Structure 1
């Protein structure tokens, strides 16, 4: 399918635009700024499926009463190493970062912190919050439920679980943190949206129809993923056969940690008119509680160095470690700008018009063609 060129916008202008939109929708100033920063940080890391491309969905969901712009996170219960927060049905970004900070504070005091969140909403990329723990010298683990059934279980014909992401991060001394961020489906649902915005076919194995057959048209895949009736996303592993059964199990792991543990909803059992009540789980561990100072970080450095030194199949493509692609993309996008498909730019202009916000996006020259 024919590709397209994409203009690039500066991170600063995207943050300003996103902050203005959120404020126009009724989010208090400080909350709008923090949420916008997390949204754009997702785009800087190259996770275009979870950044500003979500703004059209946030607008639609807000109009339907699916999230409350003026929500304030609330501490429900707490112990020295655990806590439960209620997100008040706001967007999840700010609540999630508050939860990970609280878990990290506890871990730095007593070695371990675990914080769960209920009544939250979409929170962007799970890896942001795991990385926040690693930046404080801690190991971080994040799990989340999602709004809608999209994962087709092994041998099933209809979706039941959400994409239910998991993220893990660990600090090294010299190297970048190890940051693993995965959907427990073969690909996140919004990755299909990104391909549709770019008018590209999706790879076979991401989405199946009601008979378990691969779907490659991104437009058709959007119908299967977001209509939530028959067909949908495959579990991590790339097929609807038994090979994806472990991915399906990982989806259940995230569901258990971020669902019944904190009182969040299981999408198929939620009433049609109820708010999503998405749940999150955040764990922070201090490596120094298990070993002497710097021992963990130094050993992880040695492991990462060994992986980077592994002979590459193609000398032009060095061996990567989880977190490398995102960090490299972030450096490039801070320098050159964040690519925006034409269709997304048009959607942002319309959202700004409806919200009464000036469209102040600084767009540079088009990038190379996306094929």
Structure 2
């Protein structure tokens, strides 16, 4: 049985800041990165928050990460921009990109910013929510480093989990917030299941013959080997998958990777050296509803949409009908009150990272 510590959000933030500071990152880039990672854990997306520290540390030790990155705009017009993340962690560049898209949308009705030469940026939903907080519709996609999704009728992985997030503001209701992988799950969620000592749900990972893999250790081995088997595309197993689900992943890469000129993982791995940056691409779109409707009309209609969805008859009287964004908001409230639950298998690994870079270990909390 894996034990947990409930750690206050500010303690998790302080731990991330301490590690990134020991690595020598710029204080402003540290602030932005820690903000995204902590909010991701608060939302319950445990696969993309502090649990990513070990992965980032591995990239740092290989020389892939530019710890002194200075994201910059390299092409721009009144509506669009292309940013270069300077081979740094994706969080700061992505915050800057969505902020730029928001400014353009406020001025012109729409803003589109692509990012290249980046690394993992955490949860796409965080950046889409930035737009909604500014009264705009946000759409975010990204290419991914890993090659772990088996295509329809295929037996070897060829695409990543390329996420898509959409967030839209409402009036009296909380914003609609969808954040999803275009595979049946994110690869990092498989890793989190391993840290928690849990079996992987059937249908997430399959071997080369399409048979489900339930053991988390075996599943992660399959995802690392890039030989046969992998994650299933959204919609089912490779033999029975929705071709539309797999196509959605390709669309996410077109916007997140091809548009920015970032690398396509199956091609990159043929020539990539261990120390070469991941060169990931991201896509950020902000739309001002007031460019299409009178002020407040969009939000009022969104309230009606959300009310109708919430008012649908319940299959189980004890379970309310959910709208995307509800679970994250409820989890955030709980974790702000009780702390972020971290399995001790994870905190032990973070302690090792701290010992390796000279950062203080801070993750103390109440046992869950």
Q: Which TM-score applies when normalising by structure 2? A: 0.97
From 292, 295, 298, the equivalent of 1:296 is 298
List runs of 5+ in structure 2 lacking aligned partners.
none
Instruction: Please name the residue that 2:308 is paired with.
Output: 306
Instruction: Please name the residue that 1:268 is paired with.
Output: 266
- Determine helix, strand or coil for the equivalent of 1:321: coil
Instruction: Please name the residue that 2:206 is paired with.
Output: 208
Instruction: Please name the residue that 2:285 is paired with.
Output: 283
Instruction: Please name the residue that 1:125 is paired with.
Output: 123
In structure 2, C-alpha distance between the alignment counterparts of 1:315 and 1:6, rounded to whole Å: 31
Q: Output one character per residue of 1:14-42: Cα deviation in whole Å (capped at 9) or x when no partner.
A: 10110110111120112112211111110
* Residues 154 and 239, structure 2, Cα contact 8 Å, conserved in 1: no
From 335, 359, 362, the equivalent of 1:333 is 335
In structure 2, C-alpha distance between the alignment counterparts of 1:227 and 1:70, rounded to whole Å: 31
Residue 275 (structure 1) shift: 2.0
Say how many residue pairs are matched. Answer: 364
In structure 2, C-alpha distance between the alignment counterparts of 1:226 and 1:322, rounded to whole Å: 31
In structure 2, C-alpha distance between the alignment counterparts of 1:349 and 1:11, rounded to whole Å: 17
List runs of 5+ in structure 1 lacking aligned partners.
none
Q: Which TM-score applies when normalising by structure 1? A: 0.96
Residues 1:235 and 2:233 are matched in the alignment: yes
* Residues 265 and 277, structure 1, Cα contact 8 Å, conserved in 2: yes
Residues 1:102 and 2:104 are matched in the alignment: no
Instruction: Please name the residue that 1:345 is paired with.
Output: 347
In structure 2, C-alpha distance between the alignment counterparts of 1:362 and 1:109, rounded to whole Å: 46
In structure 1, C-alpha distance between the alignment counterparts of 2:53 and 2:123, rounded to whole Å: 14
Residues 1:354 and 2:336 are matched in the alignment: no
Residue 9 (structure 1) shift: 0.3
- Determine helix, strand or coil for the equivalent of 1:114: strand
More divergent stretch after superposition (352-361 vs 120-129): 352-361
Which portions of structure 1, spanning 4 or more consecutive aligned residues, are displaced by more than 2 angstroms?
A: 241-244
CA RMSD of aligned residues (A): 0.9
Q: Output one character per residue of 1:143-165: Cα deviation in whole Å (capped at 9) or x when no partner.
A: 10000211100111111111100
- Determine helix, strand or coil for the equivalent of 2:314: coil
- Determine helix, strand or coil for the equivalent of 1:102: helix
* Residues 125 and 178, structure 2, Cα contact 8 Å, conserved in 1: yes
Instruction: Please name the residue that 1:60 is paired with.
Output: 58
* Residues 114 and 282, structure 1, Cα contact 8 Å, conserved in 2: yes
- Determine helix, strand or coil for the equivalent of 2:242: helix
In structure 2, C-alpha distance between the alignment counterparts of 1:181 and 1:227, rounded to whole Å: 27
* Residues 150 and 159, structure 1, Cα contact 8 Å, conserved in 2: yes
In structure 2, C-alpha distance between the alignment counterparts of 1:141 and 1:341, rounded to whole Å: 32
- Determine helix, strand or coil for the equivalent of 1:12: helix
* Residues 103 and 112, structure 1, Cα contact 8 Å, conserved in 2: yes
Residue 195 (structure 1) shift: 0.3
* Residues 234 and 244, structure 1, Cα contact 8 Å, conserved in 2: no
* Residues 165 and 184, structure 1, Cα contact 8 Å, conserved in 2: yes
- Determine helix, strand or coil for the equivalent of 1:215: coil
More divergent stretch after superposition (308-317 vs 288-297): 308-317
Residue 74 (structure 1) shift: 1.0
Residues 1:88 and 2:86 are matched in the alignment: yes
Instruction: Please name the residue that 1:190 is paired with.
Output: 188
